[in-house]
A and B are shown apart, each in its own frame.
Chain A
Amino acid sequence: MLTLHNCLLLSTLLFATGVFGVVARRNVLIILMSVELMLNGVNIAFVAIARFYPGGSNAPAGHIFVLLTMAVAAAEAAVGLAIVLSYFRNRKTADTDEMRVMRW
């Protein structure tokens, strides 16, 4: 059923899945993808609350927040993947447990 409770539960479930990915995996690419999962879960919560309590506006603040979150997620993915690429080029590993130094 399309209720605010269910939307927030979906959002929480996606966020928890992302947390699991960050905690339980060691491949740095999958960890970055899990971060995207968490950001998307939060976006669902913003959109759901904007949908059910619009406050008389046709584009409530939740929609703007989601757009800004998307921009931040894009920036985060770009910088994160650049770091991964640079690290792999120098150290030949994508395993977070083997990533002990950030200098070379």
Chain B
Amino acid sequence: MNLRDFFFVFFSFLAVFGGFLTVTRRSPVYSALSLVIFFGAISGVMMILAAPFLAMMQMMVYAGAILVLFLFVIMLLALKEEELGGERPWPIQLLAGLGCAMLFGMIAHAILKTPLKPAAPIGQDFGSAEAVGHSMFAEYVLPFEIVSVLILAATIGAVVLAKKHLPQPAPVTEEPEEAHH
């Protein structure tokens, strides 16, 4: 087992562990903190899979932006224990767990049954920021532009949705104009 395999196994276990903690913690704060472990481990896996630029973006977008957004919302809600909401009864959770295990089992069976061609070699600067940038702004420029529109729409939508409703101005009454003169 060389170093690359070791780190792959290590980050995989860390990701599964972080994901498991995220879905099982009672309080959203602990879930969000477990999500840090998860995102960091995913970033490590991407680094091992020869995608250094994506690993960096993973840290910046997920751990840097989305997670902070989650923590901000948790802070703004300031859920008390009784506001956390109930949990489903354990038979339903067990059933959900079994269902997800079955989902995993079926997809894993399909994956393991699929014969794979040997991997192709990769270039020297595979997955670097330069290579991804060239590809994104030459070949895939249209999806990129569409995503920018999507993000603009999401930003405006989030602002409109989350804004506190200001007190409505008093309805305009039909005052006779002459009274002011």
Contact = CB atoms under 8 A, between A and B. Distances in A.
Interface of A: 1-2, 4-10, 12-21, 23-30, 32-34, 36-37, 40, 43-44, 47-48, 50-61, 63-64, 66-68, 70-79, 81-86, 88-89, 92-98
B143 A64 contact: yes
Contacts of A34: 22-23
Contacts of B79: 94
Interface in B69-91: 69-70, 73-74, 76-77, 79, 83-88
A54 B120 contact: yes
Contact of B73 (A17, A61, A85): A85
Given A32-B70, A34-B22, 13 more contacts: A2-B8, A16-B107, A17-B16, A24-B96, A27-B84, A54-B120, A63-B127, A64-B143, A74-B61, A82-B162, A84-B77, A93-B83, A95-B84
Contact of A94 (B66, B84, B100, B122): B84
A64 B85 contact: no
Given A36-B35, A82-B157, A30 B28 contact: yes
A43 to B, nearest CB: 7
B123 interface: yes
Given A30-B31, A34-B22, A59-B134, A74 B103 contact: no
Contact of B147 (A2, A71, A77, A79): A71
A24 B23 contact: yes
B35 to A, nearest CB: 6
B179 interface: no
